[in-house]
Structure 1
C-alpha cells in the first residue's frame, strides 16, 4: 500500500509544472553540483544531490507541496520511515508549520532522530508503511491538518523534477540519467522534466523492485519487502509518467550497492546511504551498459545512512 489508495487515473505532472516549481523554490534550495569524472573507466557525471539540505532530494518536493497547498496549512501530517519524513520536517520548520510524522516501528532510529532534530513530532504506529499511512490519515482528519502523501502528490513529483532542469544546464549532450526509484517521486519528476528528450532509467534493489512489478502488471502492485518502513508499491503518478516516458526499471543486488558505496568512499570520500548509491551500482555492476564512450549521469540522492551500519 502507498499513500494513494484510489483506482482513478492519477493526476498528470508535466514539464510546465516542474518549471513552475523551480520558480517557486528559487532561493530555498541548493543547486547541487555535478562532478565530472570516470568510474571503472567509464565517463560519469555524478549529481551530488546528497548535499541538498537535509541530505535528501525529497526536500524539493516537500517544500513545493507545502508552498502550493491551499489554504495554507498550519500543520501537516504524513507517514514516512526515512528521508521523506526528514524532508517534510525540515520543510515545515522553514515555513513555520507544525509537522507530525507517523513512522512504523521498523523505521531506522537515525532517521527518526533527524526528524526530531527539525522539530517534528514523531509517532510510532504499526510495523509497515501501510499501517503508518492509515494512522496518519486518521490523525490529520482528527486535527484538521493537511495530510501529505509524500510519494504520490503532484507537487511533490514536480518539485523533485527541478533536479532534472538543473541537469539540463549542468551536463551537455543529454546523456542518460540513472536514478533510484524508491517510492517513485524522483524518477517521476525527472521524467516529467526531461520527457523523451533525455532518457531516464530507474534503478531499484532486487528485493524491492516496485517499478519493475508495476510495469509488469501495468499498474502499481504491492511487493513484499524486507524494508517494511518504506512503501510497498510505486506511486501511481510516477508510474503513469514512467510508462508515458518509457522509463525502464533496472535491478541491482545488495552486494552491488555495497560495492558502489565502497567505491564512492574509497575513490572520492563520498558517503551515501544504500538508496543513494543504487544508481551507481547499476553502472559499475553492468546492469546498465552505456554506449561506448557515452557519458552517464548518476544521481547520488541521499546521505542519511546510519554511520554505525557501515
Structure 2
C-alpha cells in the first residue's frame, strides 16, 4: 500500500490549482485564538472536491479514465464531489448511497447528472454494491476516503490555511473514514503543526483503530453519521494518527448540535453536523464544551476546519 507523504500533497496542489476554490478564513477577534477555515464554501459544498479533482485528473493524465466513467459509494459529500468532477471531465458518474442519505444530497447529485443508486442503510452496504458495479461494468472505482489520491487532494487544504495564518500551531479536523485527517495530518507534520482529530462518541472508527493498533469495524450512531459514519477508518489515517503531533478527541452529539447552532447564531454559517463536530471539540472562553475537549494553551493559534455545508438548515433555530 502506498504510504502518503508530503510530496503527494504538493503534487496534488499543482494538479488541482485552478480547479478548486482556495479556502477562505474567518479570523478570531483576539490575538492567536481560533480561526475558522470555511471549506464549506468549496465547490459542491465540502472539501471532498479537492480529492475528487485530484483523483480524476491524475487518471486523465495517465490515460486510465474509462469511457464507463467513475463510480463511488458515499454518505453524500464524496459522491457530490465525484459527480461534479466527472461532469468536468465529460464522463458519467454512478453514485451509490445508503437509503438514509439526506434528501438534499440526493437531489444535488441528480442535478450534477449522476446516476444515483440507494442501497441499504449504511455506507458499507453502498460500498459493496459499488464494488460489484465496478467489476461488472469496468467503471473506475473511486473511494470516499481510502485512496492516496483522495487523501492527498484533501491535504492541499493545510498549506492554504498555513499561508493565511502565520504562526499556525494547531489544526482541528473532524474524522469519518479519515481522508481529510490523513491528508491534513501528513502536511501538518511536515510543518511541525499539531493535528487534532475529532469524532462523535458513537462514530469513533479512528479512535477504535488506534486503540486496537489496526483498522477495526465499529457501530455507527450519531447525528453526524451522514458524513462521519464510516464503519472503519483507513489504514492511512490510522498510521497518521499513530505519529507524534496528533491528538484525538471524542464529542457527544449534544455538543455537536450546540456548536452547529452557535455557528448559525454568531456567524450565520449553516454547516452540516460533521463540520460542527470539529468546533465542538475546542474549548473556548465562556463556551460549554465536553470535559474531553482540546484546550489551547495561552497564545496558541488554532484553525478549525468547517468541512461542509450540505445540510437542511430548517432545524436551525433563529435567536
For the aligned pair, the TM-score class normalised by the smaller chain equals over 0.9
Deviations 1:176-210 (A, max 9, x none): 01110111011101011121510011011101111
Alignment partner of 1:223 out of 211, 218, 225? 218
Please list every run of 5 or more consecutive structure 1 residues that lacks an aligned counterpart in the other structure: 1-9
Alignment partner of 2:58 out of 52, 58, 68? 68
SS of residue in 2 equivalent to 1:208: coil
Contact residue 20 and residue 42 of structure 2 kept, 8 A: yes
Confirm or deny that 1:156 pairs with 2:155.
no
Alignment partner of 1:191 out of 182, 185, 193? 185
Alignment partner of 1:15 out of 3, 6, 26? 6
Distance, in Å, in 1 between the alignment partners of 2:243 and 2:138 is 36
Question: Superposed, which structure 2 residues align to 1:87-126 within 5 Å?
Answer: 87-126=81-120
Contact residue 35 and residue 45 of structure 1 kept, 8 A: yes
Distance, in Å, in 1 between the alignment partners of 2:172 and 2:197 is 6
Contact residue 12 and residue 241 of structure 1 kept, 8 A: no
Alignment partner of 1:49 out of 28, 39, 42? 39
Contact residue 154 and residue 179 of structure 2 kept, 8 A: yes
Cα 1:53–1:245 shift into 2, 3 Å: farther
Select the structure with the greater relative contact order (CA < 8 A; seq sep ≥ 6): 1
The alpha carbon displacement at 1:246 in A equals 4.4
Q: What is the total number of aligned residue pairs between the two structures?
A: 300
Alignment partner of 1:172 out of 157, 166, 171? 166
Please list every run of 5 or more consecutive structure 2 residues that lacks an aligned counterpart in the other structure: 284-288
Confirm or deny that 1:35 pairs with 2:32.
no
Confirm or deny that 1:201 pairs with 2:196.
yes
TM-score (norm 2): 0.90
Contact residue 157 and residue 238 of structure 1 kept, 8 A: no
TM-score (norm 1): 0.92
Alignment partner of 1:58 out of 48, 53, 56? 48
